[in-house]
């Protein structure tokens, strides 16, 4: 089984300053397509699931699909739970085989968030799993979690203290990034990433990847964003290709589900490959 620890994946990427693409997958087709993209690029890859996707499938069914599809894949893969404020879901996914979780407690006071993240890290370690931490909300909703309002920012000292005391493996700073398509060009605090990595040696997670420019990605990866999250671009590739195909099917009155799925798969593979290559992950599988 090619499944590896999130920490190994990200520590290597941070050391070599490339980004590991973390794609939000939504079903079997997208899991298979993202894995195929990683194999074609010979790249490590992170598959992440929203709480909504876990609930839609049920933990064991979703993990079963992941296991079946990843079994013969010859590149390193990690399964991660994206933004999760609920401790019960965190515990469930850790017990169910996830390799990593984002405990998103940014709505709590930092002190409470810190105390609970320490517990989550201890629990994750019992399963050999990793933890991503967050103390500021990333703007925009991701599968119904989060808010369209900008959240309160914390000082650099507070963030460094949180990372050190909790022992999180990766940290998600709010740097002007946002989930979903950007409504206006983002004004990113690149320096914050450099400062956090320099002070802690811990890799950063870049959220809100969809819509950033190539230059923004490359600069943030060079500063230490070793995990680069892409969700909206995958969802749009999946849905828009489906729509295009279905319009044609209606026009021709020809309805063949496997052709639709193949068309959607190609679109997701293409999108995933483009991101992996841009982030410098191609050829980095071991």
Q: Which residues are catalytic?
A: 82
> Is residue 230 at the binding interface for ligand 13P, with CB under 6 A as the rule?
yes
Pick the closer one to ligand 13P by CB: 94 or 206: 206
Residues 276/23, Cβ–Cβ less than 8 Å: no
> Is residue 132 at the binding interface for ligand 13P, with CB under 6 A as the rule?
no
- Here the tokens at position 48 are 């992440």
Residues 275/209, Cβ–Cβ less than 8 Å: yes
Look-up of token digits 């050999």: 128
> Is residue 207 at the binding interface for ligand 13P, with CB under 6 A as the rule?
yes
> Is residue 208 at the binding interface for ligand 13P, with CB under 6 A as the rule?
yes
Pick the closer one to ligand 13P by CB: 70 or 233: 233
Site for ligand 13P in 140-199 (CB under 6 A): 142, 179-180
Q: Closest Cα to residue 10, out of 176, 150, 172?
A: 172
Q: State the Cα–Cα distance between residues 227 and 232, nearest whole angstrom.
A: 16
- Here the tokens at position 147 are 């808010």
Among 76, 209, 224, 281, binds ligand 13P (CB under 6 A): 209
Among 231, 241, 264, 271, binds ligand 13P (CB under 6 A): 231
Question: Using H for helix, E for strand and C for coil, what is the string for 126-181?
Answer: HCCCEEEEECCCCECCECCECECCCCCCCCHHHHHHHHHHHCCCEECCCCCCECCC
Among 32, 41, 82, 169, binds ligand 13P (CB under 6 A): 82
Q: State the Cα–Cα distance between residues 168 and 234, nearest whole angstrom.
A: 27
- Which residues lie across from 45 on neighbouring strands? 77
> Is residue 64 at the binding interface for ligand 13P, with CB under 6 A as the rule?
no
Q: What is the DSSP string of 81-110?
A: EEEE--HHHHHHHHHHT-SEEEEE-TTS-H
- Near ligand 13P by CB under 6 A, which window of 107-115, 118-126, 208-216, 253-261? 208-216
- H/E stretch holding 199 reads helix 190-200
> Is residue 78 at the binding interface for ligand 13P, with CB under 6 A as the rule?
no
- Which residues lie across from 3 on neighbouring strands? 77
> Is residue 273 at the binding interface for ligand 13P, with CB under 6 A as the rule?
no
- Near ligand 13P by CB under 6 A, which window of 103-111, 159-167, 184-192, 229-237? 229-237
Min separation Cβ 170 and ligand 13P, Å = 12
- Here the tokens at position 210 are 């969809």
Among 6, 18, 24, 41, binds ligand 13P (CB under 6 A): 24
Among 232, 241, 264, 271, binds ligand 13P (CB under 6 A): 232
Site string for ligand 13P, 25-54 (x = CB under 6 A): ------------------------------
């Amino acid at each position: 089984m090619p499944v590896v620890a999130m920490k190994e994946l990200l520590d290597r990427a941070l050391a070599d300053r490339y980004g590991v693409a973390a794609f939000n997958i939504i079903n079997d087709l997208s899991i298979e397509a993202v894995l195929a993209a990683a194999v074609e690029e010979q790249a490590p890859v992170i598959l992440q699931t929203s709480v909504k996707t876990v609930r839609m499938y049920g933990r064991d069914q979703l993990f079963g699909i992941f296991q079946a599809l990843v079994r013969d894949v010859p590149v390193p893969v990690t399964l991660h739970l994206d933004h999760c404020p609920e401790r019960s879901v965190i515990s469930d996914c850790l017990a169910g085989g996830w390799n990593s979780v984002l405990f998103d407690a940014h709505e709590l006071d930092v002190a409470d968030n810190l105390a609970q993240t320490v517990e989550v890290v201890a629990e994750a370690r019992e399963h050999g799993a990793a933890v991503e931490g967050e103390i500021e909300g990333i703007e925009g909703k991701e599968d119904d979690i989060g808010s369209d309002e900008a959240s309160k920012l914390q000082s650099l000292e507070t963030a460094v203290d949180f990372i050190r005391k909790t022992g999180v493996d990766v940290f998600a700073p709010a740097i002007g990034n946002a989930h979903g398509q950007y409504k206006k060009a983002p004004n990113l605090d690149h320096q914050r990433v450099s400062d956090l990595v320099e002070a802690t040696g811990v890799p950063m997670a870049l959220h809100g990847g969809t819509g950033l420019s190539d230059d923004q990605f490359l600069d943030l990866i060079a500063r230490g964003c070793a995990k680069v999250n892409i969700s909206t671009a995958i969802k749009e590739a999946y849905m828009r290709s489906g729509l295009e195909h279905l319009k044609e099917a209606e026009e021709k009155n020809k309805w063949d589900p496997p052709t639709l799925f193949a068309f959607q798969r190609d679109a997701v593979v293409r999108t995933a490959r483009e991101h992996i290559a841009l982030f410098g992950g191609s050829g980095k599988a071991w």
